[in-house]
Amino acid sequence: MFGIDGKFYEIVSAIADLVILNLLFVLCSLPIFTIGASTTALFGVTKKMADNREGYIVRTYFKLFKENFKQATEIWLIYLVIGILLGFDFMMGNQAKDTLGVCMQGAAMILAIPYFLSLLYVFGVQSRFVNPVKDTIRYSFFMALRNMKCTIQMAILMILLVWANTTVLLVNFLTLVYGFGLMGYFFAAYYKKAFGKYLNPEENS
């Protein structure tokens, strides 16, 4: 009975931590330009949670948010601008309705592949490695290609989350309550597997 109670407490505690972490992420992402730092802090905390050494969630989150703010924000703004340009290019091609329009759409879709693949990893790389912005982006794409099994699974999770939020109203509520935190927890497990070969055993534990 004591063992069951202990396990039940661990589950409840983990859910509570995810709810708190999710709230921190949502609030710190509201200015939009801070999404990069918020995501990096999210992945940093969920990595510690996955290793059962998260400590104080709020304190750790804001510590990582502050430490990564400048570079993570630069990375996020780069991806935001590129994403807007790709979206604009695709929409303009769709409106053109001619050969040039088809070429514009095709180019946008081709360029969107490395964009999306690197986006899956870039803030995970930022949370684990110390590199210049250019190298962080380059390594994130390299990680995506070298760990294609993890990349495909992460992409499926992202697509399912977006799809569910656009089709099921209840999912929107659940996402705001703990969805981002839970997604970060799953991604932390994938990052641990993908990054493990590039870290010392102590760094990956």
Report the predicted TM-score, pTM, of the whole model to 2 decimal places: 0.86
Task: Give the tokens for residue 161.
Answer: 């989350």
d(Cα 187, Cα 147) in Å, to the nearest integer? 13
Residues in the chain with pLDDT values less than 50: 1-2, 202, 205
For position 9, what pLDDT does the model report?
73
For position 1, what pLDDT does the model report?
44
For position 178, what pLDDT does the model report?
76
For position 150, what pLDDT does the model report?
92
d(Cα 58, Cα 24) in Å, to the nearest integer? 8
For position 93, what pLDDT does the model report?
81
For position 169, what pLDDT does the model report?
72
d(Cα 35, Cα 65) in Å, to the nearest integer? 10
d(Cα 180, Cα 56) in Å, to the nearest integer? 18
Q: CA 27: distance to chain centroid?
A: 16
Residue 39: name the closest of 159, 201, 191 by CA: 191
For position 53, what pLDDT does the model report?
66
Buried b (16+ CB within 10 A) or exposed e, 179-193: bbbbbbbebbebbbe
For position 101, what pLDDT does the model report?
79
For position 2, what pLDDT does the model report?
45
For position 105, what pLDDT does the model report?
86
CA dihedral 199, 190, 108, 81 (to 10 degrees): -70
Task: Give the tokens for residue 21.
Answer: 């972490």
Between the alpha carbon of residue 25 and those of residues 51, 123, 172, 173, the distances in Å are 20, 14, 15, 15
